[in-house]
Amino acid sequence: MTNPNIFTVSRLNAEVRLLLENEMGIVWLVGEISNFSAPVSGHWYLTLKDSRAQVKCAMFRGNNRRVTFKPQNGNQVLVKARLSLYEPRGDYQLIIESMQPEGDGRLQQEFEKLKMNLAAEGLFAQSNKRPLPEHPKRVGVITSKTGAALYDILDVLKRRDPSLPVVVYPTMVQGEEAAIQIAQAIGRANERNECDVLIVGRGGGSLEDLWCFNNEIVARTIAASQIPIISAVGHEVDVTIADFVADMRAPTPSAAAELVSRDNSHKEQAFATKRARLVSAIRHLLMKQAQSTHALKFRLEKQHPSYQLQKQSQQLDDLDMRLRRGMTQYLKQHAQRVERKQHQLQLNSPVKRLGEQKLHLQRSEQKLLDAMDKTLLTTRHQLAMAAEKLETVSPLATLKRGYSITHSASKQTVSSIEDVNVGEVIKTQVEDGVIESQVTQKIAKA
């Protein structure tokens, strides 16, 4: 029976992946890109690092198509990602959903983080919104005294309701000190309690220009105000934290002035007020729906076939890269083996061996000739010595010295007078020929 407390490696990696994805969820991360690669599949693989650590990342084709710049090694970026685990290798990794350069991205990250925190606290709840007075007796304006927004507000109020008093609380609306000054101006207006409604805002600009209206201090000061506040920051497309916290959001400073002023038709003002309330309520509802949709989307993504496709696609890219590395290594090793075989073939080549044998034959032939010459010379010397010895005992040599050899008729060498008979013809050999003679007399030694 299998023990459920004993894990297989596959089960362990699957459990860890689910734990990481469910517990951590979405994270924001800033780091430097390294080891960036973009295979033919269209997915991106990279490493995010800082001075002390690094983490592997994958960004699939459906998400990286929305990136507005081409990532390169060395880029500092801000990414939104979910934590996961690549099960085949057991590598902990990030699945990146969005990527942007660090500067703009950091502000956007801070904006999203503060918005989520304040929304969780209920600062954006519609139940906390204070109604605007139907007929305000005095309007307070918190903005720069030299900005175009102030002139637009005053121009609209003068045109629509010249009798409506206006109190301006001048403040900086851009820069590091602006948030503190805006919060102080709101606090000062509440302390003086001389206005029925406050307009807080400025003209349009970049996210960085409007950043003081995304400050937590300003947001909490607006939420704590006893006087209803209309947020009128930038143009209609600009959205700040102040817009979510305020009792009413106006798309522009001029529109805010229209909301608090009366004209010849009070119904129009009431309509504009109700419209603004409706827009604000819809925005709040949409924000809640977006949060709910995001949570459902995250749950769906974990179960969606595309997740498995992404996982399998990453595995395919991993196998492709491993195959390429393996083929490169195999070809390198094969080339080395071929080189070694060629070297061995050269060492054992018949041409080389024939050359060596030929050289050996030439050396042996030379040794044989030398030996033959030596033997011939020795033999000649021995022959000469033998000839010399032979010549000393040769009868011919004796003949040369004046001696002769005599043979009887029976061809026997005559060494005694007894060997011949009187009247017998004998032959005497001298150096230059033969002498025939007849024995006439035998004379013995005395």
Q: What is the pLDDT of residue 266?
A: 58
Does residue 313 lie within any of the structural domains? no
Q: Is 60 exceeded by the pLDDT of residue 342?
A: yes
Q: How far is C-alpha 252 from the chain's CA centre?
A: 48
The residue assigned the tokens 């991360």 is 29
Q: How many domains does the chain have?
A: 2
Range of the domain at 19: 10-101
| CATH number, residue 236 | 3.40.50.2300
Kindly state the average pLDDT of the residues 142-161: 90
Tokens 């925190």 locate to: 117
Residue 263 has a pLDDT of: 65
Q: Is 62 contained in some domain? A: yes
Let me know if residue 329 belongs to a domain: no
Helix-then-strand count for the chain, H and E: 12, 13
Of 47, 67, 101, the one marking the end of a domain is 101
Is pLDDT above 90 for 226?
yes
Query: Is 389 a member of any domain?
Result: no
Query: 351 or 85: which carries more pLDDT confidence?
Result: 85
Rounded Cα distance, 83 and 17, in Å: 8
Rounded to the nearest 5 degrees, what angle is found at the Cα of 179, between the Cα atoms of 176 and 184? 130
Whether residue 259 is found in the same domain as residue 127? yes
Higher-pLDDT residue of 367 and 349 is 367
In a domain, 72, yes or no: yes
pTM of the model: 0.45
CB proximity list for 278: less than 8 A, separation 6 or greater: none
Q: What is the pLDDT of residues 174-183, one digit of tens each?
A: 888 999 999 9
Residues 211 and 241 occupy one common structural domain:
yes
Structure confidence at residue 355 (pLDDT): 76
Q: Looking at 237, 263, 289, which one is the last position of a domain?
A: 263
In a domain, 42, yes or no: yes
**pLDDT of 123 higher than 90:** no
Q: Are residues 139 and 90 in the same domain?
A: no
Q: What integer pLDDT is reported at residue 103 of this predicted model? A: 63
pLDDT value at residue 151: 93
pLDDT band at 272 (very low <50, low <70, confident <90, very high): confident
Share of the chain above pLDDT 70, in %: 90
How far, in Å, CA of 290 to CA of 239, rounded?
Answer: 15
